[in-house]
């Protein structure tokens, strides 16, 4: 690898017009010729996951200066889906991933940075940052915001998920009082950081470390600890060393890293949304990864993390129990330790000094939380291209469920039916037209999924949708059904009262009507008018891949199922 000491783009008389701009920004002749590192900071005062990132950015800058580089911070937006929960604006939450990636691509290309440090904490923001960095291919280090410390109330642990489930279900069912909700509200988010359960935020923070992009052991350090600031400073030093070695993000995130991330996601019982993000990363890199890989590996990798919703613990406890290195050590030979990290060394060197971990939070393959991986891929006449469920968070009695369809064209419609008591035990809610094109934006069907759990229907009512779910999801809910209804997928042909069978161990999702009847229904189906015809949602609907290919705006990338897979 090359050993660049600076950025030649800013050297020589012909670069005077570039140097004068940075001199106007306060740099001198020595600084202008050092490696320039873009610090991609998702700071915002609008979420506890991001309010502390200014402090971390300053620590990163200190590390960069110490190692002989020049930090150049710029901001990206960062949203919190919990604010939009209950409104139609939740459909923006996946779409923002692609616009974030584009903003990083633009900034890095125009300013010719030598490397990037990514600072973010949640859901689609983390994968948006990573996707943008993969696109430009520079040396890159990820600094996570970390989890918040878990809340306590009335002698028990509480999180944002408790508030959501109380508001969207338990309150209407008379299972919680207004005073109890007020107490949950006061205690669920006690510190800065991401909500401390295994939702999408912490799943993606963990996977950023597994991919080799965050310093080993750093991703799950709670946001409020001094150790988090120290890790940020070390990350600043690390990026300059990577730049000098010429070690880029594409050298680190290779096929080994992607497969390791899939295995880690299965082992933590992580968010179903991680499937979309890892598939999009692979697609951006032109590397092979498909739903079949997730399903195959899920039969080989058990759940080893007892973090909510797969157990009773929180991510801050996961960190103190050993964090990502302990999890990977316990995976043993299932994990490829030859994959590189941003330390410049392979994972194996970081794991050699760690003994097997045995505690209530991170278990061993001999005593798993769940015998298979946390995710299952279902197929069948309702989902020819696949569907996803979080099998480790489904009660055993609901791993196989058959019932009549109750059909709705939005999450809100299904939720109103649940509130009104129109859903009976044994039913299967079908929530369609919430996919990539239908929503548009592949909306989180969170109202219905939260209500099913909090109204104690998770032992008797199933849910299937072409939308997706919050990373908090649990219960007998199946998402990412593809092809989606809006492009003429079989979900569009389901009629009220049709029998549907969800068979998670058998990996089947079936509409129990004759094949010729299903064909007749689809032949006479006509597309509904689009819900949105302008703005970023319309752009996304027109150019995003289907969920089995990552649901990202990558029309230039080959689909594993062929061009425009799943579009009818």
Residue 470 among the catalytic residues: yes
DSSP state letter for 148: P
Examine the pLDDT at 565 and tell me if it is beyond 50: no
pLDDT of residue 470: 87
Segment 62-81 mean pLDDT = 95
The token duo for 564 is 């425009």
* pLDDT tens, position by position, 120-143: 999 999 999 999 999 999 999 999
406 in helix, strand or coil? strand
Query: How confident is residue 567, by pLDDT bands cut at 50, 70 and 90?
Result: very low
Peptide bond preceding 309 in cis form (omega within 30 of 0): yes
CA-based nearest residue to 202, from 223, 226, 225:
223
How do beta strands 376-380 and 383-389 pair?
antiparallel
Examine the pLDDT at 558 and tell me if it is beyond 80: no
Segment 441-451 mean pLDDT = 93
pLDDT of residue 6: 63
* Residue 316, φ and ψ in degrees, nearest 5: -65, -35
Spatial contact of 381 and 490, defined as CB atoms under 8 Å apart: yes
**Mean pLDDT, the chain, as a whole number?**
93
* pLDDT tens, position by position, 38-51: 999 999 999 999 99
* pLDDT tens, position by position, 490-522: 999 999 999 999 999 999 999 999 999 999 999
Angle (nearest 5°) at CA 402 between 398 and 403 = 115
DSSP H helices, 474-549, are: 515-524, 535-543
100 or 564, higher pLDDT: 100
- Give the architecture (CATH level 2) of 377-549: 3-Layer(bba) Sandwich (3.50)
Domain boundaries, the chain: 34-150+190-351, 153-189, 377-549
* pLDDT tens, position by position, 156-186: 889 988 888 888 888 878 888 999 999 999 9
* pLDDT tens, position by position, 476-486: 999 999 999 99
Query: How confident is residue 3, by pLDDT bands cut at 50, 70 and 90?
Result: very low
pLDDT of residue 566: 34
220 vs 84: CA distance, rounded Å:
26
One fold for 34-150+190-351 and 377-549: no
Segment 345-370 mean pLDDT = 93
Query: How confident is residue 434, by pLDDT bands cut at 50, 70 and 90?
Result: very high
87 or 241, higher pLDDT: 241
Query: How confident is residue 564, by pLDDT bands cut at 50, 70 and 90?
Result: very low
pLDDT of residue 64: 98
* pLDDT tens, position by position, 230-271: 999 999 999 999 999 999 999 999 999 999 999 999 999 999
pLDDT of residue 52: 97
Which of 114, 218, 305, 470 is catalytic? The answer is: 470
pLDDT of residue 506: 96
- pTM for this one? 0.94
* pLDDT tens, position by position, 196-221: 999 999 999 999 999 999 999 999 99
Segment 50-68 mean pLDDT = 97
Examine the pLDDT at 334 and tell me if it is beyond 80: yes
pLDDT of residue 161: 87
pLDDT of residue 108: 96
340 in helix, strand or coil? strand
Q: What is the share, in percent, of the chain residues with pLDDT greater than 90?
A: 82
520 vs 447: CA distance, rounded Å:
32
For CA atoms 305, 311, 316, 321, the dihedral sign is negative
- Give the architecture (CATH level 2) of 34-150+190-351: 3-Layer(aba) Sandwich (3.40)
- Count of C-beta atoms within a 10 Å radius of residue 62: 16
* Residue 152, φ and ψ in degrees, nearest 5: -130, 140
Segment 416-421 mean pLDDT = 93
pLDDT of residue 439: 95
Segment 9-27 mean pLDDT = 89
The region that residue 531 occupies, defined by phi over 0 for left and psi between -120 and 50 for alpha, beta otherwise, is: alpha
């Amino acid at each position: 690898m090359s050993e660049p000491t600076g950025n030649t783009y800013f050297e020589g008389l012909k670069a005077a017009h570039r140097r004068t701009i940075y001199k106007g920004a306060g740099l001198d002749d020595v600084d202008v010729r050092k490696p320039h590192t873009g610090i991609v900071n998702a700071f915002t005062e609008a979420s506890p996951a991001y309010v502390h990132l200014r402090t971390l950015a300053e620590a990163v800058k200190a590390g960069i200066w110490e190692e002989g580089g020049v930090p150049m911070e710029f901001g990206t937006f960062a949203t919190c889906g919990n604010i939009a929960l209950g409104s139609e604006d939740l459909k923006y939450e996946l779409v923002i991933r692609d616009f974030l990636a584009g903003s990083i691509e633009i900034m890095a290309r125009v300013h010719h940075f030598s490397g990037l440090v990514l600072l973010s904490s949640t859901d689609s923001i983390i994968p948006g940052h990573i996707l943008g960095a993969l696109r430009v291919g520079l040396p890159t280090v990820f600094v996570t915001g970390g989890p918040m410390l878990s809340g306590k109330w009335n002698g028990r642990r509480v999180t944002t998920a408790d508030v959501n489930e109380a508001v969207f279900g338990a309150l209407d069912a008379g299972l919680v009082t207004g005073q109890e909700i007020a107490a949950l509200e006061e205690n669920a988010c006690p510190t800065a950081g991401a909500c401390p359960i295994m939702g999408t935020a912490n799943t993606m923070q963990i996977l950023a470390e597994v991919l080799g992009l965050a310093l080993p052991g750093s991703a799950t350090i709670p946001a409020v600890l001094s150790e988090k600031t120290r890790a940020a400073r070390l990350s600043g030093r690390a990026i300059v060393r990577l730049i000098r070695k010429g070690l880029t993000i594409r050298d680190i995130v290779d096929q080994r890293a992607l497969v390791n991330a899939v295995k880690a996601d299965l082992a933590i019982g992580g968010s179903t949304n991680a499937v979309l993000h890892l598939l999009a990363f692979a697609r951006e890199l032109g590397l092979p990864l498909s739903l079949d890989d997730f399903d195959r590996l899920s039969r080989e990798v058990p759940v080893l993390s007892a973090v909510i919703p797969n157990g009773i613990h929180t991510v801050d406890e996961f960190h103190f129990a050993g964090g990502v290195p302990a999890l990977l050590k316990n995976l043993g030979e299932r994990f490829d330790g030859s994959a590189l990290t941003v330390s410049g060394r392979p994972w194996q060197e970081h794991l050699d000094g760690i003994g097997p971990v045995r505690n209530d939070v991170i278990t061993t393959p001999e005593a798993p939380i769940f015998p298979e991986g946390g995710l299952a891929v279902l197929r069948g006449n309702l989902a020819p291209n696949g569907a996803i469920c979080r099998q480790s968070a489904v009660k055993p009695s609901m791993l196989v469920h058959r019932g009549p369809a109750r059909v709705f064209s939005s999450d809100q419609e299904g939720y109103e039916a649940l509130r009104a008591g129109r859903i009976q035990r044994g039913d299967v809610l079908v929530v369609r037209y919430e996919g990539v094109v239908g929503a548009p934006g592949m909306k989180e069907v969170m109202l219905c999924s939260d209500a099913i759990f909090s109204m104690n229907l998770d032992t008797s009512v199933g849910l299937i949708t072409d939308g997706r779910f919050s990373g908090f999801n649990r219960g007998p809910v199946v998402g990412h059904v593809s092809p989606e209804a809006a492009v003429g997928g079989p979900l569009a042909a389901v009629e009220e009262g049709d029998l549907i069978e969800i068979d998670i161990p058998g990996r089947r999702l079936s509409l129990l009507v004759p094949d010729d009847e299903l064909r007749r229904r689809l032949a006479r189906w006509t597309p509904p008018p689009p819900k949105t015809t302008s703005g970023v949602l319309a752009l996304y609907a027109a150019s995003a891949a289907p969920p089995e290919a990552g649901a990202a705006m990558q029309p230039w990338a080959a689909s594993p199922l062929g061009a425009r897979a799943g579009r009818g």
